[in-house]
Chains A and B, each alone.
Chain A
Amino acid sequence: MSDRIFGVVGLLLAIGFALAAFAIEESFLSDAVGPKAFPLIIATVLGLSSIVIALKPDPEPEWPALPRLAEVLAAVVVMILYAELLPEIGFVIATAFAATYLTWRLGSGLIASVVTGIGTSLGIYVIFHMVLGLSLARGPLGF
Chain B
Amino acid sequence: MIFKATRLAAAAALLSASALGVSAQGFTPENPECIAPANPGGGWDFTCRQVGKSLQDLGLLDKTVQVVNLAGGGGGVAYAEVVNKRNDDNNLIVAASAATATRLAQGAYPGNTMDQVRWLASIGADYGVIAVAKDSEIADLPALLDMIKSDPTSISVAGGSAVGGWDHLKVLIAANAHGIDDVRSVKYIAFDGGGEAVTQLLAGSVQAFTGDISEAKGFVDSGDIRVIAVLAPERLDGEFAAFPTAREQGVDVIGANWRGFYAPGGMSDEAYDAWVAKIADLYASPEWKEIMAANGLAPLDLQGDAFQTFVAESVAQIQAISREIGIIK
Contact = CB atoms under 8 A, between A and B. Distances in A.
A28 B327 contact: yes
A31 B191 CA distance: 12
Overall SS of chain B's interface = loop
Contacts, number: 17
Given A28-B106, A29-B327, 15 more contacts: A27-B108, A27-B163, A27-B164, A28-B164, A28-B327, A28-B328, A28-B329, A29-B163, A29-B164, A29-B168, A29-B184, A30-B163, A31-B163, A31-B189, A31-B190
A76 B173 CA distance: 55
- In the complex, which range does the number of interface residues on chain B fall in? 10 to 19
A35 B189 CA distance: 14
Nearest to A31: B163
Interface string A24-60: 0001111100000000000000000000000000000
A64 B254 CA distance: 69
A30 B187 CA distance: 10
8 contacts: A27-B163, A27-B164, A28-B106, A28-B164, A28-B327, A30-B163, A31-B163, A31-B189
Interface of A: 27-31
Nearest to B164: A29
B74 to A, nearest CB: 11
Contacts of B106: 28
Contacts of A31: 163, 189-190
A142 to B, nearest CB: 14
B144 to A, nearest CB: 20
Nearest to A29: B164
Interface string B153-185: 000000000011000100000000000000010
A30 B190 CA distance: 11
A123 B263 CA distance: 37
Give the 6 A-B residue pairs with the shortest CB-CB distance, closest first: A29-B164, A29-B327, A29-B163, A28-B328, A28-B327, A31-B163
A33 to B, nearest CB: 11
Contacts of A28: 106, 164, 327-329
Nearest to A135: B31
